A = this chain, B = another copy of it.
Amino acid sequence: MKYATDKVLFVADLAGTFVFAVGGATAAIRADLDLLGLTVLAFSTALAGGIFRDLLIGAVPPQALRDWRYPAIAFTGGAAAFLLYREMQVIPGMLLTTLDAAGLSLFAVAGTKKALNYNMHEFIAVLLGAVTGVGGGTVRDIFLAQVPSVLHADVYATAALAGSAAMILGRKAGLRPEWAAVLGGVLCFTLRMVSVWRHWSLPHVMNP
């Protein structure tokens, strides 16, 4: 049973890596980077959040460098975007948003779980779950010399924080870890999708 759960999680993790890699490569194409830049953005969008989390918790070398399947999947996502960019334009934007929200939820939950495994404080584990989810997109935007979109637009990192927090609270309330993870993932995904649908955004302080 445990084995089956882990296998599902692993496949889902690779799927999230693929989706994020395609997103990074697409951003590279829009910024007119070359093939190398496209590959770097595919890798970093897909893997940087987890790498940064692993460096912080002392899980070195990071999982993304210990298991060659992660960079291989990121590479595949970049190659797919390179070869099929024109064809991909017909994919509805809402499908991309949905896949991205699924990747975010999975990364947040997986990041929180790994931080707990490494005995981080629960408050820190929530932060590290969000770092896992949004770190890749942040690095992507820094490479593009832009203010990371997560800092000023949308409800994105907030959804990851809420999902991670719900997962922790669920565990404290006595939920089995698997169900707490499902609760956190579903909350993150739902909050992200509703916020896109309703055009929610976080408050800004008026700068007088």
| Contacting pair B204 A33 (CB below 8 A) | yes
How many copies of this chain?
A: 3
Contacting A34 at CB < 8 Å: which of B37, B120, B151?
A: B151
Chain B's nearest CB lies how many Å from the CB of A107?
17
Chain B residues within 8 Å of A60, by CB = 55-58, 60
Residues of A in contact with B (beta carbons under 8 Å apart)? 28-38, 40-41, 51, 55-58, 60-62, 65-66, 68, 71-72, 81-82, 85-86, 89, 118, 120-121, 123-124, 127-128, 142-148, 150-153, 156-158, 201-205, 207-208
Instruction: Report the nearest B residue to A30, measured CB to CB.
Output: B207
- Asked whether A152 and B30 contact (CB < 8 A) given A61-B56, A127-B71, A147-B144, the answer is no
| Contacting pair A37 B144 (CB below 8 A) | no
Q: How far is the CA of A18 from the CA of B86 in the complex (A)?
A: 45
Chain B residues within 8 Å of A142, by CB = 142-143, 145
Q: How far is the CA of A42 from the CA of B118 in the complex (A)?
A: 25
| Contacting pair B57 A61 (CB below 8 A) | yes
| Contacting pair A71 B207 (CB below 8 A) | no
Chain B's nearest CB lies how many Å from the CB of A204?
5
| Contacting pair A38 B205 (CB below 8 A) | yes
Instruction: Report the nearest B residue to A60, measured CB to CB.
Output: B58
Chain B residues within 8 Å of A32, by CB = 152, 204, 207
Q: How far is the CA of A144 from the CA of B142 in the complex (A)?
A: 9
| Contacting pair B207 A68 (CB below 8 A) | no
Contacting A56 at CB < 8 Å: which of B51, B124, B157?
A: B51
